[in-house]
Amino acid sequence: MALMTFGKQFSVGVQTIDDQHKVLFDIVNELYDGMMKGQARGMTGPLLKKLAEYTRNHFSAEEAMLAAAAYPKLAEHKIKHRDLIKQVNGYIARFDKGEITLNIHLLNFLSDWLTSHIQKVDKEYGPSLIAHGIK
């Protein structure tokens, strides 16, 4: 059973972005599945690396689309992206120190962040991208 399911409430109306967001949901669900099976400790390191790399790639692609659409809130959007990367790097550092409660904190952080960021911040740019022919 998945912790998070991507549905239309998370769609920004741009298929490329929606597909990338689905991958982020998949990573959260992989961690959740590992926790439910008692395997989270062994999965956390690889998932954090996967998350960090994928997040950087996703943010780069998203920001390029926003720049192409001359999105007026691009600068503040970039700041939010940098903040997430900083937080993920903090989780990586905590994992490297051997913190055993990391998985629960990480899972809560990621699901909360994804839900609020996509529904409140990313949804704002959908119409702008669509108006500029970005689908």
| Closest to 118 in 3D by CA, of 15, 18, 26, 32 | 18
Arithmetic mean of pLDDT, 84-107:
83
Arithmetic mean of pLDDT, 86-114:
84
Confidence of residue 77 (pLDDT cuts 50, 70, 90): very high
pLDDT of residue 101: 65
Instruction: Name the residue range of residue 123's domain.
Output: 13-131
Q: Within a domain: residue 3? A: no
pLDDT of residue 37: 83
Q: Within a domain: residue 48? A: yes
Residue 100 has pLDDT above 70, yes or no: no
Q: Within a domain: residue 1? A: no
pTM for the whole structure: 0.90
- Please, what is the average pLDDT of the chain? 90
Q: Within a domain: residue 7? A: no
Q: Within a domain: residue 40? A: yes
Element (H, E) at 117: none
